Amino acid sequence: MSQPKPLSRETQADISRWITRECGVVLGPDKAYLLEHRLSGLLKDFSLPSYEALRDRLLDGRQAGVTERVVEAIVTHETSFFRDRHPFEALRAAMLPAARQRWLADRAASLLPPRPIRIWSAACSTGQEPVSLAISTLEWLRSGAAADLRPADFVIVATDISARIIKMAREGRYSAAELERGMPADLRARYFTPDGPGWVVSTEVARMIDYRRVNFADAALASVGLFDVVFCRNVLIYFDEALKKRVVEEFWRSLPAGGLLVLGSAESLYGISDRFQPITMAGSPAYQRL
Ligand SMILES: C[S@@+](CC[C@H](N)C(=O)[O-])C[C@H]1O[C@@H](n2cnc3c(N)ncnc32)[C@H](O)[C@@H]1O
């Protein structure tokens, strides 16, 4: 196949608009090179002669494979275990104790068994974040901080737009290099088993995590459920303001008064929502639902 014509401004604008509608990610005109670079391989894979042909496929929406591959080519899945460390320390030191207080109050107020304590890892990529949340919770229980709770009293719902990434996360297999990025050796020994050249997460950890595919940009973003804590880190930064507001509104609906939202270190709710109070928990910033 001959070299396609360069991506024109008009086609770039059409494809960028389609991407924002499909997954929320905003690509300004300054991202033309990135777009061309990431999409050029797809022209070959789908035997398309030009970027215009790719745009037409996206706009007629009949070839689901192309849609998914374009979204895959655009979103970044960069992640690591215990990324930024402090939010996980705050989880153990302050967020889980606060959730436990609510759980104890629910138990005292009802004859029915209380609902589990629920944490949402929203935009979880290949699972390093929910696995870190599960391990932090298990370590907190091991420390004897909550003799009334067991691992079965926790559910971590982990969601991402990418079906391929969710499948990988569910398998729970990580290379030695991935584990070296953030997983301390003692926790690796406790919560992973050697598996060929890499490692696989223990059943104890896997049992706590419920992986699901959720696209924040779906017009009918269905409620994912009720949570005590939501971690949504390093994804809102890619969205336009309207989608940021819509997603944060969904978090507000998913949390009780006093429930906690944790964003990425470069993200904030400034100008997005005044329905959360910025707070510091064990030295780490978080937002408390009003
Ligand atoms: C940079 S990773 C962040 C992973 C993890 N939260 C962390 O901080 O390490 C961003 C993730 O957001 C997901 N994502 C992008 N757009 C999305 C959307 N519209 N709905 C749900 N997930 C999305 C991507 O697939 C990717 O796995």
60 and 149 belong to one structural domain: no
pLDDT at 71 over 70: yes
pLDDT at 188 over 80: yes
Closest ligand 1 atom to Cα of 162 = 25
pLDDT at 67 over 70: yes
147 and 70 belong to one structural domain: no
Total of domains in the chain? 2
The per-residue pLDDT for 220 is: 73
The per-residue pLDDT for 1 is: 60
Q: In which domain, by residue range, is 275 found?
A: 86-289
What six digits make up the tokens of 107? 């138990």
Share of the chain above pLDDT 70, in %: 99
pLDDT at 113 over 90: no
Which residues, other chains included, contact 57 with Cβ-Cβ below 8 Å and sequence gap of 6+? 46, 48, 63, 66
Distance, CA 49 to ligand 1 centroid (Å)?
31
146 and 34 belong to one structural domain: no
- How does residue 205 score in pLDDT terms, banded at 50, 70 and 90? very high
By alpha-carbon position, which residue is closest to atom 13 of ligand 1?
123
194 and 126 belong to one structural domain: yes
270 and 161 belong to one structural domain: yes
**Span 237-262, average pLDDT:** 96
> What is the Cα–Cα distance from 126 to 159, expressed in whole angstroms?
10
Residue 165 belongs to domain with CATH number: 3.40.50.150
pLDDT at 219 over 80: no
* 234 within some domain: yes
Is beta strand 192-195 parallel, antiparallel or unpaired with respect to 198-201? antiparallel
**Span 192-204, average pLDDT:** 97
* 3 within some domain: no
- How does residue 173 score in pLDDT terms, banded at 50, 70 and 90? very high
66 and 99 belong to one structural domain: no
* 233 within some domain: yes
Check pocket membership of 23 for ligand 1, CB cut-off 6 A: yes
47 and 166 belong to one structural domain: no
Check pocket membership of 133 for ligand 1, CB cut-off 6 A: no
Check pocket membership of 123 for ligand 1, CB cut-off 6 A: yes
The model's pLDDT over 144-157, given as tens digits with 9 standing for 90+, comes to: 999 999 999 999 99
* 159 within some domain: yes
